[in-house]
Structure 1
Amino acid sequence: MALGRKAYFIGLDGGTGGARAIVVDAEGNVIAMATHDYATTFPRPGWAEQTPVDWWCAACLAVRQAVREAGVSIADIRAISADGTSSTLVALDHGLQPTMPAILWMDNRAAQQARRMTETKHPALRRSRLGVSSEWMLPKILWIKETLPDVYERSRWFVEMTDYLALRLTGRLTLGLNHITNRWFYDGRRGGWPEDFFHKAGLDGITGHFPDEILPLGAPIGYITPDAAEDLGLARDTLVVCGGTDAYVAMVGLDVCRPGRTAFITGSSHLVLPMTDQDVEVPGIFGPHPDCVVPGLLVMEGGQVSSGSIVRWWHDHIGRLGNAGPDSYGEMLRQVEALPIGADGLVALDFWQGNRNPYIDYELQGALWGLTLKHTPGHMLRALVESVAYGTENILRTLRTHSVAVETMVICGGATRTPFLMQMHADVCGIPIAVPKVLEATAFGSAINAAVGAGFYGSLPEASGRMVRESHVIEPDMRRNRAYGEVFEFYRETHEALAPLMHRMARRGPPAPRPVGQNGLVISARAEAMTVAQPAE
C-alpha cells in the first residue's frame, strides 16, 4: 500500500432507483454516504426507461453531499470509480448526446430479438445455451435497428450506464471489460468479439459502434475533467477508475474474489454470483464469465429479474394504504412474518418481468393462485415474498444439479434491512448467509476499485481482503427448510403448468406504438441544463 498523507476514495453507484456515493478511507472505514433518486418510466408493459442526464444530476448531488458530510479535504480524495446497472443501453450521437431514452436493464421489449439470437445456436452462446436474455445489450440494439431505424442511424455509439458515467467524469469514451464480458458476448480468451455471430444475428458491423478502448475493472481511465470536478465538487487531480456492472462490483465489496466464495446481491433484482476457477457450463445459468472481475478466475451468474421490486410494488400500491407511518415497509413485513409458511395454501410466481434464470424466458409473468375467502392481503404478500426466496433456491438447485455447490453466501442490498427476509432465504435455501459490516457493497466495491486504480493496493483480491469485514452469519432453520421445500415443489410445478398459457398471452400481439418526440427522445427539463464533455481528439 502506498504511504503518505491521508487518502480517501469515492464509490459512485448508479442503481435502479438512484445514485449513491460513498466516501471510504484506505482501511475500508466508511466516512459518509449519500443518495439521490431519479425516475423510471414504464411506457408499455415490460418496458422501462430512464434519462441519462438525470443520472449525472443525481450523481453530482450525491457526491457533493457525501463529501460535505465526510468533512474531508477534497485534496485527500485520490480517486473515484462508478458502477452502473447491467445492460442499461445508452445510444449516443456523434456529439455524444443521447438519441433516445436509456433502455433500462429490466426492460424486456427485445424478447423476439433475443429469441432469434438464441435460434442461431452459435458457439458464442456457450455461456447462455438455454437462451439469450432480452435484458442484454445486443438484443436491445437489434430492437432499435429493426423498430427505430432513424434512431439507429443517428446513434454513433452504444454503451452502458457505467461507460456513460465514465464519459461524464473524464470526457473519454471507453468500454468496461467487466460488462462486455458478462453481457455483450465478448470473450478475451476466445478472440474477443464474435463478429460472425453478430453478422448472423443481423448486426453486421456493430462493433464499429463500440468504443475501441476496453479497460478492465480497476484500471485508471484518467483524471476528472474541470467541468466534472466543478459539478461534483472535487479536485481536478482526482483520478477516475474504470468500473463495471453493479452486481459484479459488489462482489469486490463482499470480498468474493476467491474461488469458492459466492455473492448474494439483493434489491430490485436478486443475483447469485459464485466465483470459480473451473470453466464449467451449467444449462440455465449464465457463464462462466472469464476474467471479468479477477484475472484468471470466472464468475457464474443466476439472477431474478423481479424480487425486491415486487415487494416495493405491493408497498406502493397496496401495503402502505394501511401502514402510513415512517416504517411502513417494516410494519407491512412484520404482519407477513406472523403468517404460516405456505401462506395457508397460496402459491405465487416471481416472474413479474419474466424469468432470467434458470428458465431464461421473458414471456413468463407473475401469478398467484389458491385464493379463498379466508385469505387476507397479508397472505397474498406472504406468498409473493416466499416466491422470491423460491426463485433463489431454484437457481441454487440448478447449480447443484451440475456439481456447482454453493455452501454459503455473502449478502448485500435491500434484503439486509429486514432480518425476516434474510432468515427466510437462509431457511428456504438451507445454507448460512454471511452479513458484512458494510451493507452497501456495490458503492463500497466501487470505492475499493478506486483504491486499486490509485495504486494503494496491488489487486482487487488484496484490497477487498483488507477492506471488507464480516458482521455476523445467519444460520438456516432446517425444520423450516423442510416445510418450505414442500411449497417449493408447488412453485416449480406452477411454472410448468402456467408457462404455456403465459406464452400465449405474451404472443397475442404488441400494443400500439408509443408517440415519440421530434428526436425520438424524452428528456427532463433539468437534464437539458448539463452537457457531455467532448473527448479529446
Structure 2
Amino acid sequence: MTQQYFVGIDVGAGSLTAMIIDLAGTVAGSASEELVTHNPHPGWSEQDPQDWWRALCKTIRQALAESGIRPEHIAAVSLSAGAHTPVLVDAGGQVVRPAILWSDTRSRVEAAELKDNHGTEIFDIACNVPAATWTQPQLLWLARHEPESLTRTKRLYVAKDWLRAQLTGTWETDHTEAAGTMLYDARRKEWSGRLCEMIGLDPSVLPPIVDVTDVIGGVTADAARETGLPVATPVVCGSSDTSIETYGAGAVAVGTGAVKLATAATITMVSPEPGQSTSVINYPFCVPDHWYLIGATNSCASAHRWLRDTFFAENGVAGAQAFASMDKAAGSVAPGAKGLLFHPYLQGERTPYWDPLLRGDFLGITFAHDRRHFVRALYEGVAFSLYDVLLALEEQGKGMAEARIIGGGSRSAIWRQIVADVLGITVVMPRITDASFGTALVAAVGAGAFPDLPTAAEHTVSIAARHEPNAQQHQHYRELHAIYRDAAKALFDVNHRLSALNKE
C-alpha cells in the first residue's frame, strides 16, 4: 500500500507553519514563514490575509521539497489559526480590509457597552463575556468607525477558513471558530440571531457550520498551481489553533490540559461542559461532546522577544543565539530574581482582569540587579500570570495535577521548570508541540486513516521531557505571587491614568 502523508497548516500570530506527517506521527517535512503584524494606531493589531496565502504556498512547497515525497502521496490537508480573526470579503471575493487580530484592543469601548447593556444575556447564549478580543465588539467598532467596510461585506470568514477557501473555493466554519465570533449560540450549536441583532449584523454574512474533521472539498486547479498540491487533494475543515494544539499535545480526556508559551500564554483544560465563571473563556473542543476552558495572559513570547530586542540583540548576537543567551542568564539567577517582579501586561491583560488598559512593569529594581535578573523576572512574571489563570480554573473545581506544555517558549528548559515550580504541577513536553502537528492529525482523521481524534493522538503523540515541581520552590513562589497580585491591583488606577494621559 502506498504510504500516506498528511499536511497540517497553522497560522500563528508571528508565522505560518506547514508540516507533513505520516501515519506514525513522524514529521516528513516542515517549513515556516514569518508574518508581519501591522500596528497603525495604539492598540491596533492587523494582518494582511494575502500574506497568509503567500506564506502557505511557499511553506507547502518547501515542506514537500524537504520531505522528498511525491505530492500525490498527500492524502489530506487541514488548517488551524488563531480565533476571533475576522476576514471580511465583498461580492467579488475581495478582502475588504486587513484582518483584526485577537490582540487588538480598539473595540474596548464597544466591548464595555455590550457587557454593561447585555452582559448576562450574552453569557447565557455565547458562554463568554464581551471583551475587545472577540469578533462581535470588533464588528460593532467597524459599524461605527468604518461603516463602508461592513456595507461592502457579503461573507465573513475567520482566518483559517479564509485561507482554506483559497484552496477549495468553499465557505464554511467549525463550531469552535463560530463560538470565537461571539455570534454563536453555544448551547443550540447554531448562529444566534439575537447576538447579531445587538450589533446590527445581517446573519446572512455568516458561513455554514460543519464538523472539525469534515472533508469540505478538494484543492482547485488554481490552488494546485500555486501550492504544488495535486488537484482534488481532500481538504479537511480544521479548527482554531488552541483547540488543535491542545489536542495535538495529547490532552484529550476530561481533566487534562495544556500550558502554552507562545505570543500569548494560556492554560487550557478539557471539560465535559462549559464553566460558569466569567473570568475564563469557554469553547467547544475539537473532540466531540467536550469543551475546553481557557485563561490567558496577553504577552508571553511577545514580551520575551521585546526583552531580547531591547537588551540582548547587540554585538551581532540576535535570533536564537540571543534567546540562548537569555536562557543562560535566567538560569544563573536564583528563584525570585533577587526581589524583582515583572507584570507582563505590555498589551493589557486578559484572565483574570480583562482590562486592556493595564501596563507592564518591573517592580523592585535596585542597584543589585543586572539584566540577568530582568530575564529571570520575565520568565517568572509570565508564570505568575499563568498561576492567576490556574487559580481562576480551580475556583470552578477545574484543577489539574499535570499539563502538557507547548508553544515556542516551551523550548526553554529553564522556563519549563519555572512554570512547573510556580504552578505546582507536573509539566510534560510532547515530542512535537507545534499546532500544525495536531492539524495534520485532524487531516488524517478526516481522510479516514484513524476512526476518531482520540485514537489518532494515542497512536502518534509521544513525550520528550518531564518536569516535576519543587515543593520548596513552589511555596516560595506562592509567597511572591501574593505580592505580585497585590502590586498589580494597586497599580490599576495608575495604569488607567497613564492610558488616559497618553490618549490610547
What TM-score bracket applies, with the shorter chain setting the length?
over 0.9
Q: Does 1:404 align with 2:398?
A: yes
Q: Does 1:324 align with 2:320?
A: no
AA in 1 matched with 2:242: A
Q: Does 1:62 align with 2:59?
A: yes
AA in 1 matched with 2:75: R
Residue equivalent to 1:265: 260
**Distance in 1, Cα, partners of 2:93 & 2:493:** 44
Q: Does 1:484 align with 2:481?
A: no
Query: Which segment is superposed worse, 29-38 or 152-161?
Result: 152-161
Report the 3-state secondary structure (helix = DSSP H, G, I; strand = E; otherwise coil) of the residue aligned with 1:41: coil
1:174 to 172, 175, 188: 172
**Distance in 2, Cα, partners of 1:94 & 1:411:** 43
**Residue pairs, 1:185-264, within 5 angstroms:** 185-190=183-188, 192-199=190-197, 201=198, 203-211=199-207, 213-264=208-259
Residue equivalent to 1:315: 308
Give the superposition deviation at 1:510. Answer: 4.3
AA in 2 matched with 1:204: G
**Distance in 2, Cα, partners of 1:191 & 1:457:** 26
Residue equivalent to 2:122: 124
Report the 3-state secondary structure (helix = DSSP H, G, I; strand = E; otherwise coil) of the residue aligned with 2:349: coil
Deviating 4+ runs (over 6 angstroms): 127-130
Give the superposition deviation at 1:129. Answer: 7.7
Q: Does 1:468 align with 2:461?
A: yes
**Distance in 2, Cα, partners of 1:34 & 1:134:** 32
**Distance in 2, Cα, partners of 1:269 & 1:398:** 17
Report the 3-state secondary structure (helix = DSSP H, G, I; strand = E; otherwise coil) of the residue aligned with 1:358: coil
1:424 to 411, 415, 418: 418
Give the superposition deviation at 1:423. Answer: 0.5
Residue equivalent to 1:48: 45
Q: Which segments of 5 or more consecutive residues in structure 1 lack a partner in the other structure?
A: 512-537
AA in 1 matched with 2:229: L
**Distance in 2, Cα, partners of 1:183 & 1:151:** 17
Report the 3-state secondary structure (helix = DSSP H, G, I; strand = E; otherwise coil) of the residue aligned with 1:42: coil
Q: Does 1:354 align with 2:348?
A: yes
RMSD between aligned residues: 1.9
Change in Cα spacing, 1:406 to 1:185, as seen in structure 2 (3 Å) is farther
Deviations 1:311-366 (CA, angstroms, capped at 9, x unpaired): 00111222222671661111122112212222222222111111111112212121
Report the 3-state secondary structure (helix = DSSP H, G, I; strand = E; otherwise coil) of the residue aligned with 1:240: strand
Q: Which has the higher contact order (CA 8 A, sep 6+)?
A: 1
**Residue pairs, 1:452-463, within 5 angstroms:** 452-463=445-456
**Distance in 2, Cα, partners of 1:353 & 1:129:** 25
Residue equivalent to 1:96: 93
Deviations 1:459-511 (CA, angstroms, capped at 9, x unpaired): 11121121212223211111111121121111100111011222233345746
Give the superposition deviation at 1:123. Answer: 2.5
Deviations 1:176-232 (CA, angstroms, capped at 9, x unpaired): 222112442423533623322332x3x224322212x21121111100111111111
Q: Is the 8 A contact 1:89 1:105 kept in 2?
A: no
Change in Cα spacing, 1:191 to 1:220, as seen in structure 2 (3 Å) is closer
Q: Is the 8 A contact 1:124 1:185 kept in 2?
A: no
**Distance in 2, Cα, partners of 1:216 & 1:106:** 26
1:395 to 389, 394, 405: 389
**Distance in 2, Cα, partners of 1:507 & 1:103:** 23
Deviations 1:3-40 (CA, angstroms, capped at 9, x unpaired): x4211000011111121111101121111111111211
Q: Is the 8 A contact 2:122 2:128 kept in 1?
A: no
Q: Is the 8 A contact 2:329 2:375 kept in 1?
A: no
AA in 2 matched with 1:302: G
**Distance in 2, Cα, partners of 1:227 & 1:170:** 9
Q: Does 1:147 align with 2:145?
A: yes
Q: Is the 8 A contact 1:255 1:464 kept in 2?
A: yes
Q: Is the 8 A contact 2:332 2:372 kept in 1?
A: no
**Distance in 2, Cα, partners of 1:453 & 1:104:** 28
**Distance in 2, Cα, partners of 1:496 & 1:126:** 29
Q: Is the 8 A contact 2:329 2:376 kept in 1?
A: no
Report the 3-state secondary structure (helix = DSSP H, G, I; strand = E; otherwise coil) of the residue aligned with 2:299: coil
Give the superposition deviation at 1:127. Answer: 8.1
Report the 3-state secondary structure (helix = DSSP H, G, I; strand = E; otherwise coil) of the residue aligned with 2:465: strand
Q: Is the 8 A contact 1:118 1:125 kept in 2?
A: no
Q: Does 1:341 align with 2:335?
A: yes
Residue equivalent to 2:433: 439
Q: Does 1:159 align with 2:149?
A: no
Q: Does 1:371 align with 2:365?
A: yes
Deviations 1:252-308 (CA, angstroms, capped at 9, x unpaired): 211222112102222111121111114431331112x33x31221111111111111
**Distance in 2, Cα, partners of 1:478 & 1:452:** 41
Change in Cα spacing, 1:191 to 1:412, as seen in structure 2 (3 Å) is closer
**Distance in 1, Cα, partners of 2:379 & 2:221:** 47
Change in Cα spacing, 1:73 to 1:14, as seen in structure 2 (3 Å) is same
AA in 2 matched with 1:173: W
AA in 1 matched with 2:290: L
**Distance in 1, Cα, partners of 2:502 & 2:476:** 41
Report the 3-state secondary structure (helix = DSSP H, G, I; strand = E; otherwise coil) of the residue aligned with 2:79: strand
Q: Does 1:184 align with 2:178?
A: no
- Work out the number of aligned pairs and report it: 502
Q: Does 1:10 align with 2:10?
A: no
**Distance in 2, Cα, partners of 1:352 & 1:240:** 38
AA in 2 matched with 1:307: C
**Distance in 2, Cα, partners of 1:331 & 1:64:** 33
Query: Which segment is superposed worse, 500-509 or 462-471?
Result: 500-509
Give the superposition deviation at 1:414. Answer: 0.9
Q: Is the 8 A contact 2:9 2:16 kept in 1?
A: yes
Deviations 1:116-172 (CA, angstroms, capped at 9, x unpaired): 111112433148888422111111111111111122212222221111111111011
Q: Does 1:451 align with 2:408?
A: no
Change in Cα spacing, 1:344 to 1:124, as seen in structure 2 (3 Å) is same
Give the superposition deviation at 1:371. Answer: 1.9
Residue equivalent to 1:305: 298
Report the 3-state secondary structure (helix = DSSP H, G, I; strand = E; otherwise coil) of the residue aligned with 1:263: strand
Q: Is the 8 A contact 2:102 2:133 kept in 1?
A: yes
Residue equivalent to 2:131: 133
Q: Does 1:503 align with 2:502?
A: no
